[in-house]
Amino acid sequence: MLDQGLAAIAAALAAGETTSAELVEASLEAARRDQGPTAIMTLHAARAQAEAAAIDAMRKAGREVRPLAGIPFTIKDLFDEQGHVTTAGSRALSDSAPADVDAPTVTRLRRAGLVIIGRTVMTEFAYSGLGLNPHYGTPLSPWDRQTGRIPGGSTSGGAVSVADGMAAATLGTDTGGSCRIPAAFCGLTGFKPTQARVPLTGATPLSHSLDSIGPLARDVNCCATLDDILAGGAGKPELARDPRSMTFLAPTNYVLDGMDDTVAAAMDGARRRLTDAGARIVDMHLPELDELPGLNAAGGFAAADSFAWHRGLIERRGETYDRRVIGRIQRGAAISAADYIDLMQARQAMMQSVALAMRGCDAILTPTVPIMAPPLSTFDGDDDAYTTLNLLCLRNPSIGNFLNCPSISLPCHRPGEAPVGLMLTGMQNHDRVLFQVAAGVEAVLRG
């Protein structure tokens, strides 16, 4: 049942075809086997079972409950939960006091009736797109487990918890692709909103300039429903747009560099299906994108913002950090105030320029990540491979963060093939429009 979308699970609960207790037990069973002990850092078994029993009792008594009440969910380890230590996937915060209150996003999910079964492993402090964690372990992508491939990051455990049936959906964050990269590598849908749409309070920050909070789930409808809840709504999905009304801008530069044959084939197939369905795809050179490596050469907003937050903690607990993470954070020490102001001004100019280029288009269409998930063994003692592949994985999705635009990754591969994500990036503050477009694209890709 947990391999279905939220709407189907909610309908089964309402019809009495399953119960919250049954869903939670199935979730907990999955969390205790295979990748579960690695994907989920802290399992809330007793609380989840108690909440499920209470929700089932309310339904049995004929009392009104929210449509999603009783559905198992996971949250990334950087969200505050009352009574739990927020470690953000790091040993450096392991001795911190438990949170006094839930993060607003966690509160909203609980009010919707979702049952949080556990906190998921993540890249330390969310500072990598690969999903590796030397402290708590790295769960594997659901595809080609025999080889053992990375899940993508930083919402690594969250993505695997959904892919392996431990939860119907998960709550993640996205600073440069941390919802969309693991979605692409694990065959899921992942969404990054316009930053101000969802409150960041109660989430350990990486970059206050780029951070955003979004869901990973089975499909576009699930993500749209959850995004509405996270933004303070009741959980409203969006109707799919007719593909014949859609126009996409497809950059011919930057986003296709280094693309492997597997991703190229999946993207070519997706483009053909979309154009056959009546969508218009406009191939265009976007020179603004070629400026991004230079703008971020010193570490960009992520390095500067994270160093400001971490510098005191590094002085106290620096020896406990993942060396590959602390090295990136410490780059921020060399970024001056003048450099930061220049970067802010360049960002605003690029936002305006790309918005002009997008006029008449519904979204920018790109591969989420230009390569399939590499084997975990690729990174054994190889810092050069780590740096190169991390930058490559982050490159395309980080465009949406820099431009502060909503962006969504959805699967575009054929069944049985390696997971590949197709990414749609919309106009700033037009999140609901992007969901309508994405739902239409999803219908074509699944048809």
**Cα–Cα distance between 227 and 240 in angstroms, integer?**
16
Within its chain, how far is the Cα of 377 from the centroid? 23
Q: What is the mean pLDDT of the segment spanning 284-303? A: 97
Taking all residues of the chain, what is their mean pLDDT, rounded to a whole number? 98
C-alpha distances in Å from residue 335, one per residue of 3, 220, 306, 373: 45, 39, 12, 32
CB 356 within 8 A of CB 324: no
pTM of the model: 0.98
pLDDT tens-digit map of 131-185 = 999 999 999 999 999 999 999 999 999 999 999 999 999 999 999 999 999 999 9
C-alpha distances in Å from residue 232, one per residue of 149, 228, 401: 36, 6, 22
- CATH classification of 6-230, choosing from 3.40.50.970, 1.25.40.10, 3.90.1300.10, 3.40.630.10? 3.90.1300.10
pLDDT tier at 433 (50, 70, 90 boundaries)?
Answer: very high
The per-residue pLDDT for 115 is 98
Q: What is the mean pLDDT of the segment spanning 297-312? A: 98
| C-beta pairs of 307-310 under 8 Å, 24+ apart in sequence | 307/331, 307/332, 307/333, 307/335, 308/332, 309/205, 310/125
- Percent with pLDDT over 70 in the chain: 100
The per-residue pLDDT for 205 is 98
Within its chain, how far is the Cα of 325 from the centroid? 19
The per-residue pLDDT for 420 is 98
Within its chain, how far is the Cα of 101 from the centroid? 24
Domain boundaries, given as residue ranges, for the chain: 6-230
The per-residue pLDDT for 134 is 97
**Cα–Cα distance between 172 and 215 in angstroms, integer?**
6
The per-residue pLDDT for 428 is 97
Concatenating the DSSP letter of every residue in 169-204 gives: EEEEE-SSSTTHHHHHHHT-EEEE--GGGS--TTB-
Q: How is residue 121 written in tokens? A: 């492993």
Q: Which residues are within 8 A (CB) of 262 and not within 5 positions of it... i.e. 6 or more apart?
A: 371, 372, 417, 418, 420
| Residues marked as catalytic | 76, 154, 178
Diameter of the chain by CA atoms?
63
Q: What is the mean pLDDT of the segment spanning 269-284? A: 98
